[in-house]
């Protein structure tokens, strides 16, 4: 039984690490796209930042993660963050391609 629990714990840790890596890569991609938009002189960037604040709040993210006690809660938060970042990235891609 203990072996099963250890394996489950290792699997959860592995999933958390994978999701954290995905989220980190998405955040880097989003930063790159925002930088491209700034270089292209996108005029509505401030409005976009307001939309992003609604879609995926930043500062409160650290609070949510620090309050999550169970690995399952952390996984759920990471999946949600990843979905929100996906939406932001899609918007940014659309904007970049419209300007090119």
pLDDT at 24 over 80: yes
Higher-confidence position of 72 and 79:
79
Q: What is each CA distance from 93 to 9, 17, 25, 33, 65, in whole angstroms? A: 37, 26, 15, 7, 28
pLDDT in tens, 30-71: 888 888 877 777 666 666 666 665 555 555 666 666 677 787
Is the model's pLDDT at 74 over the cut of 80?
yes
3-state secondary structure at position 44: coil
């Amino acid at each position: 039984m203990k072996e099963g629990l250890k394996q489950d714990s290792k699997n959860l840790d592995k999933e958390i690490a994978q999701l954290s890596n995905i989220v980190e890569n998405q955040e880097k991609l989003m930063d790159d796209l925002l930088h491209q938009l700034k270089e292209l002189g996108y005029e509505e960037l401030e409005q976009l930042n307001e939309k992003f604040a609604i879609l995926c709040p930043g500062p409160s993210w650290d609070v949510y993660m620090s309050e999550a006690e169970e690995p399952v809660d952390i996984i759920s938060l990471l999946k949600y963050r990843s979905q929100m970042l996906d939406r932001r990235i899609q918007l940014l891609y659309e904007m970049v391609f419209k300007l090119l």
